[in-house]
Structure 1
Amino acid sequence: MRKIDVLALILSIIAIIIVSVSTYMYFSTLSELYKEVKIINQRLSNLEFIFTKPTYCPEVKYAKLFSIKCDGPVKIVRDALNRTILLIPKNLSVSLTQYFISKYRPDVVIKIPTEKIVLFSSTQVALIWRIDREYNLGLLRKVVAIAWGQRYRWYIPEIKKLIENGTIIDIGYADSPDYEKLITLKPDLVVIYTIPGYEPSVKLIQKLEELKIPYVVDNEWMESTFLGRFEWIKFLASFFNLDEKVSKLFNKIVSEVENIRRKLSEVKCRPGIAWFIIYRGIVWTPRPGSYVHDLIRTCSGIYLYENVSKVDLEVVISLANKTDILIYSSYLVESIDDILKEEPRLEVLKAIREGRVYAFHENIWQVGYAYPEILIKDLCYIVHSEIFREYELHFFKRLT
C-alpha cells in the first residue's frame, strides 16, 4: 500500500474513533444513535475492503450460458437459468459478507471453497476428474454423491472405486433424486442440469427450493461450441477457488485447438459429414445449434444437415452421394452390418459403400468430454486422415 493510502487510512480510523466517542454525548435518541452506528459500520467495512485481497477473476470467452464477475474478494456467478450466485470466501468478515449480500441480492450464497458437493451428471464428474488429474488436489473426495451413480458404467477408474467403496453414494435419478439422502448429506452445493419444457426439471427445482438445499444449474450440453461446452470447467472450478489454475489449463487447450485450425486453414477439400443414429425407424441428429456442428466446422468438414429443419430417412438418402463420412452416434454397434440391420436402405450411402463409417467409443461421454483437445484430434483425423497421419483414435472407432 502507498504511503498516502496508509496516511488516509490512519486519518479515517482516528475520525471514526472520534465520531464513535462523541456519538454518545451528541445524540439524544436511540434512533439517531442507531443511524450513526450504521454509518460507522459502513466506514469500517470500507476500510476492511481496502485490506482484502481481490480474488482472481477468470475470463469466460466461449460459453454463453454462464458468466463470472468479481468484486474484490467475492465472485458473482450467473448460472444457466441466469440466477445470481454469490461466492464468498469462508474467512470473510460478517460485515463485508452482509455488504456484498445487500449489494447483489443473490439467489443463493455459497461459502467457498466448497467441501461437500453433489453432482447430477457424468459430464460434471468428468470435469472435476480432469482438474484432479491435472493438479492432484483431491477434489474427487469432495464429491459426496452422484445422480445415476450406480446406473452408469464408469470409465473413470477413480470414480468407479469411490462408488464401490461407498465414499460416493448414489442418490438416484437426476430428475427425481432421493431427497432424504440429500438432506442427510447436508451438501454445500448441488449441481443440477435442466431440460427446457421438461416438467420433472421444474419439480426438481421446486423441491430443492422447498428444502433450502443450495443448488446451481449447469447446462453445458446446450452450448453451441465444443470449447464453450468445456469452458464450464471454469464454472465448477470457481466453487473450489481454482479459477487461476483451471484458466491456465483451459488456455493451454485453446492453444492446441488453434494449432489444429491453422493446420487445416488451407485445406481445399471439405468432406460431407452425416452424424446420426437410427432408433426404431427414426433418424436422430444433433439438435439445431449443437456443439457437434462446431466440431465438424473446426475439422474443415461440411455438416450435411446444417440447414435442414427436419432430418428423416428420405433426407439422408437424398444426400447419399454427398455423404463422404458417416459418424453413427452410438457405441452399441460394432460393424457396418449392425447399422444395416437397423436400416438396410442406408447401404446407398457413399460412406457405407467406401467404408468410411465411424461410431462412438463407449468412453466418449465421460473421458471424451474431459479431454476436448483429444476429441477434436480424433474427429479431424477422421475427416482429414491425409493430414493427421499415424494417429490412433481414442473416442471413436472405425467400423468395417
Structure 2
Amino acid sequence: MSVRSVMPGRHRAAAAFLFAAALTLTACGGDSSRPSDGNARATGEGCIKNFDPAKDYFPVKSEVKHAKNFSLRYEKSYQVLTVKEPFPKGKPESYVLVKCGAPKPKLTGDLASAQQVTVPVKSLYSASTTHLPLLTETGTLDVLTGVASATAISSGEVIERVKAGQVTEYAKDRTLNAETVIGAKPDVLMTQGTDDPQYPKLRQAGITVVANAEWLEPSPLGRAEWVKAMAALTGAEQRAGEVFATIEGDYRKVAEKGAQAAKTGKPVEVLPGTMYQGTWSMPAGGSYAAQLIKDAGGTYPWAGEPGTGGLQLNFEAVYAKSGQAPLWIADQQWKSTADAVKADSRYGQLKAVSDGAVWTNTKALGPGGGNDYFERGVLRPDLVLADLFALMHPDQAKDHTFTFYQPVPKT
C-alpha cells in the first residue's frame, strides 16, 4: 500500500493540479496566535468523576459550516463524527467519541457497530503530514505519537519530537507496518483519505481507525474546517473554532480584493499545473484549485468545466488555449526555466516561460525535502490565497512576503 502522505505529492494521485495549498505568516494572512504550551483543550477537559446522565459534558461545540465530507453531532456525554466519504466512493463511517469517564453508550441502528473511542485521545498516529498543523495550531501536538514517515515533514516541532523518540515512524518504506501500530496501541490512527488492507487488522486488534478525507472537499475553507474534526478527538474545540474563525476572516478579506480587482479590470489569465507522465491534469471548474484561482482574481480557459476533479489533457490541447497565458503557476522544484524545458522541451513554447513569468509552490522545503505547501496548506488557504493574489496583482500587493510561492528565474 502506498502511503500518500509520506510524499510531497500527497494529492497527485487524485489531482496533480493541486497547485494552491499553503500557509504561514504573510501580510495578508496573520498569525493565529496559537498557544506555545502544547495544550489547548476545551473547558471541562478532565475525565468525568461523578457521571450525571443529565449533564452536558461538551460546553464548547463545533459548528461545521463549509465542510461537506464530515459532520459532528453532540449528545450529552458523547459525540458522533461521521465521515461521509472516507475514501473515494467509500461508504460513510461514523465514530462515537465518548467523553472520558462516561459509560459507553448502548447504541442501535447504524451506530451499533460503530467504533467507539474515549476522548480526549492521549495517543494518535497520523498517516498524513496535513494532519500535523491541525495539532500544532491548536496546541495539541502532545497527542501525536506516530507518523507514517518523517521524510516529508516540514514542521520543526514535529521533527524534533521524532528525533527525541516521542514520535514513531510506522511506514518508512511507504507500507503500513501493522505490527508496529498494534504494538504501540495508539488510541487512534487517522488515515490519509484512502483505504488500506491493513486497517481491518488494526480494528480487530482494538485500534480505532478514523478517516480524514479532507482532500475530497471541493472548497478551500471546507478543507481547512477539518481542524474541527481533529479537535473533536483532542478536546480542543474552543481553540479550533478560534483558529478557523481567523482563517475564514482572512480568506474572505483577500477574496474581496480578488473580486474587486477582477471587477475593475479583468481576471488575470493563468496556466495552472504541470504535466505528469505526459498528461496535463487541469483543474475542473468546481475544484478546490479553481476556487482559489477565482478568489484571487484570476481565470483560465477550463474554469467553466463542471466537476471537482482534474481534466486529463495533452500538451497540444493546453497550448492551444493557454499557451499565451502571461502567468504559469507550476508545482515542480525547478531552479530555473531551463530546468522546466529540460523536463519537457515543449514547455519552452509557453509564453510564460519565454517571458520569465513562472511560479512554483516550492519556496518552503523541510530538511528532508518535504514541501510545507503540502503540509500546512490545507489548514491555511487564506495564506495560499494571499500568495496567489500577490503574484497575480503585484501592483496591489507590493509589500507582500511570499510564503510558499516563488518565481522561477529565467535562464
Same fold, TM exceeding 0.5?
A: yes
1:100 Cα deviation (Å)?
Answer: 5.4
Is the partner of 2:290 in helix, strand or coil?
helix
Q: 1:273 aligns with which of 266, 270, 274?
A: 270
1:203 Cα deviation (Å)?
Answer: 1.1
Change (3 A) 1:56 1:105: farther
Question: Is residue 227 of structure 1 aligned with residue 228 of structure 2?
Answer: no
1:116 Cα deviation (Å)?
Answer: 0.6
Quick one: which amino acid aligns to residue 257 of structure 1?
A: Y
Q: 1:113 aligns with which of 105, 108, 120?
A: 120
Counterpart in the other structure of 1:241: 235
1:75 Cα deviation (Å)?
Answer: 1.1
Q: 2:394 aligns with which of 385, 390, 396?
A: 385
User: Structure 2: which 5+ residue stretches go unaligned?
Assistant: 1-50, 87-91, 366-371
1:220 Cα deviation (Å)?
Answer: 1.0
Kept after mapping to 1: 8 A contact 2:259/2:296: no
Query: 2:97, 2:217 → 1: CA distance?
Result: 24
Counterpart in the other structure of 1:25: none
Q: 1:124 aligns with which of 119, 131, 155?
A: 131
Question: Is residue 251 of structure 1 aligned with residue 245 of structure 2?
Answer: yes
Name the stretch that deviates more: 371-380 or 58-67: 371-380
Change (3 A) 1:180 1:205: closer
Kept after mapping to 2: 8 A contact 1:364/1:395: yes
Question: Is residue 49 of structure 1 aligned with residue 31 of structure 2?
Answer: no
Counterpart in the other structure of 1:155: 154
Query: 1:325, 1:272 → 2: CA distance?
Result: 7
1:231 Cα deviation (Å)?
Answer: 0.9
Is the partner of 1:76 in helix, strand or coil?
strand
Quick one: which amino acid aligns to residue 55 of structure 2?
A: F
Kept after mapping to 1: 8 A contact 2:58/2:76: yes
Kept after mapping to 1: 8 A contact 2:271/2:322: no
TM-score, normalised to structure 2's length? Answer: 0.76
Kept after mapping to 2: 8 A contact 1:359/1:397: yes
Query: 2:168, 2:213 → 1: CA distance?
Result: 23
Kept after mapping to 1: 8 A contact 2:149/2:174: no
Change (3 A) 1:390 1:209: same
Alignment of 1:317-328 (within 5 A): 317-328=319-330
Counterpart in the other structure of 1:216: 210
Quick one: which amino acid aligns to residue 324 of structure 1?
A: P
1:369 Cα deviation (Å)?
Answer: 3.6
Kept after mapping to 2: 8 A contact 1:278/1:342: no
Change (3 A) 1:299 1:328: same
1:279 Cα deviation (Å)?
Answer: 3.9
Is the partner of 1:319 in helix, strand or coil?
helix
Query: 2:299, 2:160 → 1: CA distance?
Result: 41
1:58 Cα deviation (Å)?
Answer: 1.0
Question: Is residue 301 of structure 1 aligned with residue 298 of structure 2?
Answer: yes
Kept after mapping to 2: 8 A contact 1:325/1:357: yes
Kept after mapping to 1: 8 A contact 2:192/2:211: yes
Kept after mapping to 1: 8 A contact 2:57/2:77: yes
Kept after mapping to 2: 8 A contact 1:272/1:322: no
Residues 120-143 of structure 1: CA deviation (Å, up to 9, x unaligned)? 0110123212222xxxxxx22221
1:367 Cα deviation (Å)?
Answer: 3.6
Is the partner of 2:394 in helix, strand or coil?
coil
1:321 Cα deviation (Å)?
Answer: 4.8
Kept after mapping to 2: 8 A contact 1:222/1:290: no
1:168 Cα deviation (Å)?
Answer: 0.5
Kept after mapping to 1: 8 A contact 2:284/2:311: no
Is the partner of 1:176 in helix, strand or coil?
coil
Counterpart in the other structure of 2:63: 59
1:341 Cα deviation (Å)?
Answer: 1.3
Change (3 A) 1:55 1:176: farther
Query: 1:371, 1:213 → 2: CA distance?
Result: 30
Residues 187-243 of structure 1: CA deviation (Å, up to 9, x unaligned)? 111101233xxxxx3413332233332111101112111111111111111111111
Residues 156-193 of structure 1: CA deviation (Å, up to 9, x unaligned)? 11111111121111001597311111111111111012
Alignment of 1:78-227 (within 5 A): 78-79=82-83, 80-81=85-86, 82-92=92-102, 94=103, 97-99=104-106, 104-105=111-112, 107-132=114-139, 139-149=140-150, 151-152=151-152, 154-172=153-171, 176-195=175-194, 201-227=195-221
Counterpart in the other structure of 1:315: 317
Counterpart in the other structure of 1:360: 361
User: Structure 1: which 5+ residue stretches go unaligned?
Assistant: 1-46, 133-138, 196-200
Quick one: which amino acid aligns to residue 131 of structure 1?
A: T
Residues 281-312 of structure 1: CA deviation (Å, up to 9, x unaligned)? 33244477431111111111113333284321
Query: 1:220, 1:127 → 2: CA distance?
Result: 12
Is the partner of 1:61 in helix, strand or coil?
coil
Which structure is higher in RCO with an 8 Å CA cutoff and minimum separation 6?
2
Question: Is residue 349 of structure 1 aligned with residue 346 of structure 2?
Answer: no
Residues 242-281 of structure 1: CA deviation (Å, up to 9, x unaligned)? 1122112101211111111222332222112211123443
Quick one: which amino acid aligns to residue 109 of structure 1?
A: Q
Query: 2:386, 2:154 → 1: CA distance?
Result: 20
Question: Is residue 74 of structure 1 aligned with residue 78 of structure 2?
Answer: yes
Quick one: which amino acid aligns to residue 345 of structure 1?
A: R
Kept after mapping to 1: 8 A contact 2:300/2:322: no
Change (3 A) 1:181 1:174: same
Kept after mapping to 1: 8 A contact 2:53/2:76: yes
Query: 1:342, 1:264 → 2: CA distance?
Result: 33
Query: 1:217, 1:53 → 2: CA distance?
Result: 25
